[in-house]
């Protein structure tokens, strides 16, 4: 039996980038008719229980995904065995995820853009202090990564 892919997207606050990355991945999986589990979380607890940033909600809506119901949460120990893959948006997230990883972690932990040939090591820029137009770039990067992850999962 193969394990169903279960993918967690992680940023700092879980209100801007990771909800968009999760939305892009759900959309790409739907289009590919691939059965996956997806969620997102933050390394920080600043926005636990809060909805995504309005600029992320608007950007997802423009791309056909409703994320208004999502609620921020902080990454927890169970995530490291519940998910097969954990994708960090930037190097700081990656470092913080590795710091809190329990010793029995089984998830593969990488940067999100490592999935995109030619973008390995690159970060999903934090748009929190920018205008809504920057969230469109976040979506473009997340969408490219989502499609690349789906392609990899399909060849497994
Ligand atoms: P995110 O963006 O990590 O993409 O959700 C941020 C959200 C909140 C803060 C920083 C970045 N903050 O400082 O509250």
Number of domains in the chain: 1
CB-count exposure of residue 20 (10 Å: 0-12, 13-18, 19+): buried
Res 1: pLDDT: 44
Q: Which residues line ligand 1 (CB under 6 A)?
A: 11-17, 46, 126, 128
Report DSSP state, residue 114.
Answer: G
Res 99: pLDDT: 98
Residue 39: domain span: 6-154
pLDDT 10s digits, 72-106: 999 999 999 999 999 999 999 999 999 999 999 99
What pTM was estimated for this model as a whole? 0.97
Residues 44-59: what's their mean pLDDT? 98
Q: Ligand 1 mean position to 15 CA, how many Å?
A: 6
- Average pLDDT score, the chain: 96
pLDDT 10s digits, 9-26: 999 999 999 999 999 999
Is residue 91 one of the residues assigned to a domain? yes
pLDDT 10s digits, 52-67: 999 999 999 999 999 9
pLDDT 10s digits, 93-149: 999 999 999 999 999 999 999 999 999 999 999 999 998 899 999 999 999 999 999
Is residue 1 one of the residues assigned to a domain? no
Is residue 69 one of the residues assigned to a domain? yes
The answer to whether the CB of 39 falls within 8 A of the CB of 10 is no
Asked if the model's pLDDT at residue 2 lies above 70, the reply is no
Residue of minimum CA distance from atom 7 in ligand 1: 13
Is residue 51 one of the residues assigned to a domain? yes
* CATH number of the CATH domain containing 32: 3.40.50.2300
User: Strands across the sheet with 108-111, in order?
Assistant: 37-42, 6-11, 85-88, 108-111
Is residue 95 one of the residues assigned to a domain? yes
Q: Ligand 1 mean position to 126 CA, how many Å?
A: 7
Q: Where are the beta strands (DSSP E) in the chain?
A: 6-11, 37-42, 85-88, 108-111
């Amino acid at each position: 039996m193969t394990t169903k892919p279960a993918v967690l997207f992680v940023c700092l606050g879980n209100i801007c980038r990771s909800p968009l990355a999760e939305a892009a991945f759900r959309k790409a999986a739907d289009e590919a008719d691939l059965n996956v589990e997806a969620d997102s979380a933050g390394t920080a607890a600043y926005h636990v229980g809060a909805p995504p940033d309005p600029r992320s909600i608007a950007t997802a809506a423009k791309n056909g995904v409703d994320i208004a119901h999502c609620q921020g949460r902080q990454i927890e120990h169970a995530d490291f065995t519940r998910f097969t893959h954990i994708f960090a948006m930037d190097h700081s997230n990656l470092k913080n995820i590795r710091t809190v990883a329990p010793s029995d972690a089984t998830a593969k932990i990488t940067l999100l853009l490592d999935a995109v040939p030619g973008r390995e090591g690159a970060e999903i820029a934090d748009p929190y202090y920018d205008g809504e137009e920057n969230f469109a770039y976040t979506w473009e990067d997340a969408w490219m990564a989502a499609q690349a992850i789906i392609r990899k999962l399909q060849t497994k």
